[in-house]
Chain A
Amino acid sequence: MTRLAQRRKASALTGSALVVVLTLALSACAGAGTTSGPAAEGDSDLLVWVDATRQPAVEAYAAENPDVNITVATVDGGDLASKLSLLSRDPDSLPDVVFTANGESVAFARDYDYSADLSALVPQDTLDDFGATISACTDGGKVYCLPQDISTQMLWYNQALFDDFGYTVPTTWDEYAELSSRVATEHPGYVTGSCGDGFCPNVYYRGSSCPGISADGDDAVIRIDSAEECTRVTAMLDPLLADKSVATLSPFDPDMTQLGTDKKVLMLPGFVWYGTVLFRDTFHNAPGEIAAAPLPTWGDDVKGAGAAVGGQWIVGAQSSDPAAAAALIESMTTDEDALAAAVTFPAYGPASAAWIEVAADSGFYASDPTETFASARSDVTGDLFTPPGFDILAPFANAVAPKLKQGDTLSSLLGAWQNAISQSVSDAGYTAVIE
């Protein structure tokens, strides 16, 4: 080898070695965690991540509690997992309090060791007053969050139209299906349900006690196409989708909004907050048109099975002042006055009664909703915990909904749905078993 070539080879080797060493050093250091960012200054310094909707409430708390130094950062709910995953190697920059609207407290604990166990920080009496909703935060005996709200399920309907058309409100799913088919022939163009995104399985399948997945050790057994509670829903929905009484639209699709403002939405099984958010604010229904009835039943199913805890407040396990952080989230979730005026239905027992009163007094509903709202809440007795990865909603929205809109039947898409679910459970570490 010539001297020139030798020198070239040597410098190429040195160069590559340098790059490799630097890369390994980078990986190693990144794994060990860093001490970047401003160190915690004094005590009672809280960094709080919330979305834009909760920001005013936190700022009000900060104003009322000047001894706690609160820095609020607006982090969009969809970004939470990403930001936490980036910062998980940088504990000093992690927030003390996080609000998630996607029920991720247990996932954050399992994936990033982020969520703190609140059973030591919050009095047991307070935890008990949350009733069954606290189960959504509980994993392995530890309580990882305080629930902000619970979405109970009910059947919304346009009472004015029902009176006009001479219909009676269905109490069973069979009656619901019958009525929908009638509407398709007698009043085509009117909508009796929505199935165009994740809300569809949330209302129909989960409302039928069909969680679709159950854990069996390390396996996750998927029974969408085999369990009776699930197949009956598919059988009911397919004809309704075919005659278009159930629209292949999300409740928040602009086309659904158009139907709503045109007063073509006859009934809509959904959540308690549909009344204000959807009917009053999006469809602009006039007062006295919309009413709520209990969700139809299959006759032998568990009531309240479809309810879901929405917003959750989490304290970071690495927080330098967990007591102050816990005090903040307690206030956010138990302050009756603030919660009664909120858009969503509070999870905290005493506050939910106050909320129902405010709703009944609002004068928007065609008939007194107190009984429906109260029974929907008291029906919630079971375990609301969904293991991370056991979500059937996002797989539906990703794999089924787009094809549904093209006219495919629900039964033909069950395979795609189960496929997407099995990927989701494998990502969470389970072995997917489709029955």
Chain B
Amino acid sequence: MVGRSEAVPHPRSGRPLDEAQNMTARQPSAHIGRRRRTPRSTQARLAWALLAPYLALLAAFAVIPIFSALWSSLGGGPGSRDPFGFATMARAFSNNNFLPAVINVATFLVVFLPVLLIFATAMALVLHGRPGRFTSVVKFICYIPGVVVGAPLVLLWLFMLTPQLSPFEPLLNLFGMASAADVFSAQNLPAIFAIMALYAGAGGWIVVLYGSLEALDTNVIEAARIDGANSWHIAWHIKLPLIARYIAFIGVISFAGAAQLVAEPNIVGAALPGTVSDTWSLNQLAFYYAFNRNDAAASSAYAVFLVIIGLAAALVLIFGLRTYSETDKTR
């Protein structure tokens, strides 16, 4: 099994190995407990030295701020108005605007996430079904709107959703919407923000999923085709399960990002007075109390809430993937 191997690819990097390395090629490269020439302490010292600049930044811009926010949300620090303890959080979460904000963000997530995942996955699978020039062009067209972010993105879609200005006017009229007031009604807002987020974000995820499809072992797919499976069957039963963990990853990252929705409702609210509350989303609520009411403590409470939501999603990812990879040794 070992023997001559001029073209045996390394299982992970694809680079051919020579004979001497073949002996060790069987070992998975992440295996640790080997005898080392250099003492662990020297290694560790170099590791810390290499990590030093990053750790300084990590401490300054992630660890200390998050503890500071936590401290502030418990009523410590300057700008606190409540006794130390859970009083601040109680005040923040019983705010009349908190529950509506949670509902708004939840509705947005329910509309946005499934559409994003289904659309990105479907596009990636359809594109991958027939690689070529056309595929690359379409992929690029979907990806390039990712440059439009923030105020330009919202501005663009404000215009796209104003029937009198928009190239999509016939489509909007089809839905019975003849003016911006019709489009930007309260129940349409989650869908509108979802369109904006999809436009800027879907392309990137399509590229990621396409890349993961490219990395799949072609043997499995070829085998299926030889067995007579058509393209739909291959996409649904072969490719899809193999990229499922990427889809899950995208779902979790998008969840955390989408929960922080803030620029879109802000700008739409400024452009169309009386259509969007200035505390429509949770993140808006946090910024409102930080900046308009000088209430850093309440703001920290909302921010901590957002962190917990994001952490919960991250935990789902870590444990979900771990279970998945433990049950799936065929990779």
Contact = CB atoms under 8 A, between A and B. Distances in A.
- Asked if A and B touch directly (CB within 8 angstroms), the answer is yes
A124 interface: no
A405 B278 CA distance: 17
Contacts of A85: 290-291, 294
A403 B277 CA distance: 11
B122 to A, nearest CB: 33
Interface size class of B (residues with CB under 8 A): 35 or more
A427 B295 contact: yes
Interface string A25-58: 0110011000000000000000000000000000
B114 interface: no
Contact of B96 (A253, A404, A420): A420
Interface stretch (B144-152, B179-187, B232-240, B320-328): B179-187
A403 B186 contact: yes
Contacts of B96: 419-420, 422-423
Interface string B262-287: 00000000101111111100000001
Given A394-B278, A397-B274, A405-B275, A255 B186 contact: no
B43 interface: no
B77 interface: yes
A358 interface: no
Interface in B79-130: 95-97
B73 interface: no
B273 A27 contact: no
Contact of B181 (A31, A398, A405, A423): A405
Interface in B35-82: 59, 63-64, 67-68, 71-72, 76-78
A196 B180 CA distance: 13
B65 to A, nearest CB: 9
Nearest to A82: B291
A397 B67 CA distance: 36
B273 A254 contact: no
A252 B269 CA distance: 13
B277 A427 contact: no
B291 A81 contact: yes
A318 B16 CA distance: 72
Nearest to B97: A423
A255 B294 contact: no
Given A27-B76, A398-B279, A112 B294 contact: yes
B64 A23 contact: yes
Contacts of B275: 401-402, 405
A397 to B, nearest CB: 5
A27 B68 contact: yes
Contact of A253 (B67, B272, B277): B272
Contacts of B270: 78
B246 to A, nearest CB: 34
Contacts, number: 107
Nearest to A250: B273
Nearest to B180: A254
B133 interface: no
A375 B179 CA distance: 39
Contacts of B71: 23-24, 27
B164 interface: yes
Nearest to A420: B96
Nearest to B184: A405
B254 interface: no
B181 A26 contact: no
A404 B275 CA distance: 10
A197 interface: yes
Contacts of B78: 27, 30-31, 89
B293 interface: yes
Contacts of A406: 185-187
A258 interface: yes
A26 B274 contact: no
A145 interface: no
A91 interface: no
A86 B294 CA distance: 8
Nearest to A199: B273
A248 B272 CA distance: 12
B64 A196 contact: no
Contacts of A252: 273
A398 B77 CA distance: 31
A30 B273 CA distance: 37
A161 B185 CA distance: 31
Given A82-B291, A88-B294, A197 B67 contact: no
Interface in A385-411: 394, 397-399, 401-406
A189 interface: no
Interface string B292-304: 1111000000000
Interface string A246-282: 0011101111001000000000000000000000000
Nearest to B162: A254
A85 B292 CA distance: 8
A104 to B, nearest CB: 10
A111 B67 contact: no
A258 B164 contact: yes
A79 B288 CA distance: 11
Nearest to A254: B180
A255 B181 contact: yes
Contact of A401 (B72, B162, B274): B274
Nearest to A402: B186
Contacts of A112: 294
Chain B CB within 10 Å, residue with most, of A23, A254, A255, A394: A23
Given A31-B78, A398-B279, A423-B97, A20 B67 contact: yes
Contact of B292 (A82, A398, A423): A82
Given A27-B68, A250-B272, A402-B277, 17 more contacts: A23-B67, A27-B71, A30-B77, A81-B294, A85-B294, A112-B294, A196-B273, A253-B272, A254-B162, A254-B164, A254-B272, A398-B277, A402-B186, A404-B274, A405-B181, A405-B185, A406-B185
24 contacts: A19-B59, A19-B67, A20-B67, A22-B59, A23-B67, A26-B64, A27-B78, A85-B291, A85-B294, A88-B294, A89-B78, A196-B273, A248-B181, A250-B274, A252-B273, A253-B274, A397-B273, A397-B277, A398-B279, A401-B273, A405-B181, A405-B274, A423-B95, A423-B97
